[in-house]
Amino acid sequence: MITEVGPMMRKVSRDGCGYSVVELHDVRHVLAVAVPRGGGDLRAQAVDALGTIEAVHEEESTRGSIVHQAVFVPTPELVAPCRRIIREFYGEEQPATSYVVQPPCDGKLLAIEALGVGRGMGEVQIERFGDQAVRVTHNALSWVHCANVTPSEGASGVYDQTLSAMSRMRAMLAKHDIGFDRIVRMWNYLGSIVEDDDGVQRYKEMNRARTAFFEGVPFLEGCQVGLSRPAEVYPAATGIGMQGRGLMLGCIALATEDRPDIVAMPLENPNQTAAFQYAAAYSPKSPKFARAMALSCGGFATIFVSGTASIIGSETVHPGDVEAQTHQTLDNIAALIGEPNLRRHGLPGLGATLDSMGVIRVYIKRQEDYQKARAVCRARLGDLPMVFAIADVCRPDLLVEIEGIAFSRRA
């Protein structure tokens, strides 16, 4: 099934795969989600899903353009063999790939979300540095994708592990000539996220370390051209659980030195308290992230939507009801990316709707809630490419969290 969403996006749904094609600044972006169509061992399922994504890019004339992937697997033991299979498959064209230990909800051994930046229209340069870093340059913009960043082996405890992993990310970005302060989107995957270490919740310790590391970092200074700079600027981010007790980070950073017309604007939700203003009851050091990051250039905008849940103000709503929480989460995203909120942030005409989403991830706390959450998402989002994975959310009473990317064009 093919769905046209205005002049810049179309969505395609077929067996084992859904994808969106976005024409943005003469560059084709392909956002695909694939799950294996059959059973078999890990290799059989992985090759099936990878082949499906490859066929999509053949069809869209964007072969060799995949720059960033998230691969979801059910157990830590599958990460190493899955990484070997994917390295064999891509050869010299490795995307920046994070291996997320979150069981796919449909029971498969993996699910894949892949972002491609096509070479079929505008001039695009892709530089690959193994499977942890890729730099993409087009229209005088330089994007660096980092994936699968973990702490050094000597780091112990969530606080030290977070500082170690962020230091490694900063060094990785610097190696590719981009500053840590240029990050527009982050992912923080934390094993056993709501459990305690020595009487302190692991998520709260991650927030404490993130606050310390971000201290004094002038995120995106100079990018809010012609707009008043918010008092606090942080990247869009997701902090979500995974199996085991490890920690892994990923990010997207953007250099815009030769494009003073680019506006990077962190968005807050009119119906929610900013996460960095949460009271100490939620975390002694509040989570330092923006609800979304809007990147605009002229008449176009890309909006990275952070992990979003069923929260009004700073309180969880609809505890115990996954359908109501899923609806509320989607309502929160709609309010966040909608025209009134974009106008409030100084970006009139660049508001989006749920139909403008190009891809989403749906993190579900309990396997038994999968079908209910999926039904709500399908009813409201149609053929949008979606990943559904089992993951603990950062509060015990939150049952679902959703993130994604939206695209808009000024009429």
CB–CB of 302/295 below 8 Å?
A: yes
Tell me whether strands 183-191 and 247-255 are parallel, antiparallel or unpaired.
antiparallel
- What is the DSSP secondary structure assignment for residue 371, as one 8-state letter? H
Catalytic residue among 54, 60, 113, 401: 401
- Using the Cα atoms of residue 381, residue 384, residue 387 and residue 392 in order, give the sign of their dihedral: negative
CA 249, CA 68: separation in Å to the nearest integer? 13
Tell me whether strands 133-138 and 196-197 are parallel, antiparallel or unpaired.
unpaired
User: 197-201 long-range contacts, Cβ below 8 Å, gap at least 24?
Assistant: 197/157, 197/158, 201/283
The three-class DSSP label of residue 130 is coil
CA 335, CA 310: separation in Å to the nearest integer? 13
Over the range 229-241, which residues count as b (16 or more CB within 10 Å of their CB) and which as e? eeeebbbbbbbbb
- Which amino acid, one-letter code, is at 230? P
Has 23 been annotated as catalytic? no
- Residues catalogued as catalytic: 401
